[in-house]
Amino acid sequence: MLASESSYWRSVLDLAGGRLDSLLTMQKQVSAAFDGPVAERAVGTEALSALLHSLATDCRSEVGWLRSGGRRQSVLAPLLGRGLDGLSGGVRVRALLDSVPDAARAGQLLAAHPRTGESEVRSSPGLPQEILLVDDRIALVPQAVPGGEPAVAILREPAAVRLARLLFEAAWSTAVPAERSMPPVQAVGAEGSVDVFSTDPDNLADDPLKLRILQLLATGAKDESIARRTGVSLRTCRRHIAAILLALNAESRFQAGVNAFRLDLLGPSPQH
């Protein structure tokens, strides 16, 4: 990073007397930009899926995703895998997550996705806001709506989008590149023809292989045993496991089992 750029981002982070205060201040400003009565929204899984597909199809240069953690589940994470299928070749993807394990898994999944161009994943603790940016034209910001349905505010006003971009870049500039704890993922071939990248939990119920792997994970089986019992390579098995954990918004295999049980995805345990 050039000295002038570094100085600029330091001044951004010092706006409110410190990095966290600055990000929270910008988050409040972003919230004010979309919290008015004229804000455009997409509500419900079908509407969000259609919106993401449309944005991916029209995207020409870059997608940026900032995902905060905490107890609130991500509105966008389960839908992004399917949405990325609409990207044209060469689109840059940057993802910033506040969980190191999630960042590592996201990096693997992006590396396995054939339609993305350059991709980079970083992690940083305490991210204040989930945002999806597309080509600096549109920003999506999750909102709470009555009934608990997934919903996002759609920012199109240039000033609001610039503010969302500022929030993203300020957090990105001090984040740490994700380390992949598992071997790098190659493009999916014949053996991995199943949609490994899918992060939609609904797809798990329709995928016998992923359900089998999920059941084996719930029994405490190791990667090597799961690969052997499902007839796939260890590398492919680990790709599926990474996709399962991300789809279930889980940071551990135990948490994945708990979330799968809540979603009624786990049937009778596989026989040994």
pLDDT digits (tens, 9 = 90+) for 188-202: 333 333 344 444 555
Residue 191 placed within a domain? no
The per-type count for the chain, helices as H runs and strands as E runs, is: 11, 8
Residue 8 predicted with pLDDT over 70: no
Looking at residue 207, what is its pLDDT?
77
Co-location of 160 and 91 in the same domain: yes
When mean pLDDT is compared across 16-20, 92-96, 165-169, the lowest value belongs to: 16-20
Distance CA 68, CA 128 (A): 6
Over range 38-60, report the average pLDDT: 84
Is 45 inside any structural domain? yes
In a domain, 143, yes or no: yes
Residue 134 has pLDDT above 80, yes or no: yes
Across residues 73-95, what is the average pLDDT? 76
What is the CATH number for 206? Answer: 1.10.10.10
In a domain, 272, yes or no: no
My answer on whether 62 and 10 are in the same domain is yes
Q: Are 93 and 119 in contact (CB under 8 A)?
A: yes
Q: Is the same domain home to 154 and 253?
A: no
Distance of CA 137 to the CA centre of its chain: 20
Q: Is residue 192 part of a domain?
A: no
Whether residue 70 has pLDDT greater than 70: no
Residue 262's identity, in one-letter code, is: R
Can you give the residue range of the structural domain that contains 221? 201-262
Instruction: Indicate whether 17 and 149 sit together in one domain.
Output: yes
Contact between 79 and 53 (Cβ < 8 Å): no
Label residue 178 by pLDDT band (50, 70, 90). confident
Taking all residues of the chain, what is their mean pLDDT, rounded to a whole number?
Answer: 72
Q: What is the pLDDT of residues 87-117, one digit of tens each?
A: 777 788 898 888 777 777 777 777 766 555 6
Q: How confident is the model at residue 265 (pLDDT cuts 50, 70, 90)?
A: confident
Interval 164-180 mean pLDDT: 80
Q: What is the largest CA-CA distance in the chain?
A: 62
**Position 22 pLDDT exceeds 50:** no
Q: Which strands make up the sheet holding 176-177, listed edge to edge?
A: 40-43, 151-155, 138-142, 131-134, 62-67, 91-97, 116-123, 176-177
- Pair type for strands 138-142 and 91-97: unpaired
CATH classification at residue 161: 3.30.870.10
Higher pLDDT, 51 or 147: 51
Q: Specify if 184 maps to a domain.
A: no
pLDDT value of residue 116:
57
Of 142, 177, 212, which one is at a domain's C-terminal end? 177
**144 lies in the same domain as 240:** no
In a domain, 234, yes or no: yes
Q: How many domains does the chain have?
A: 2
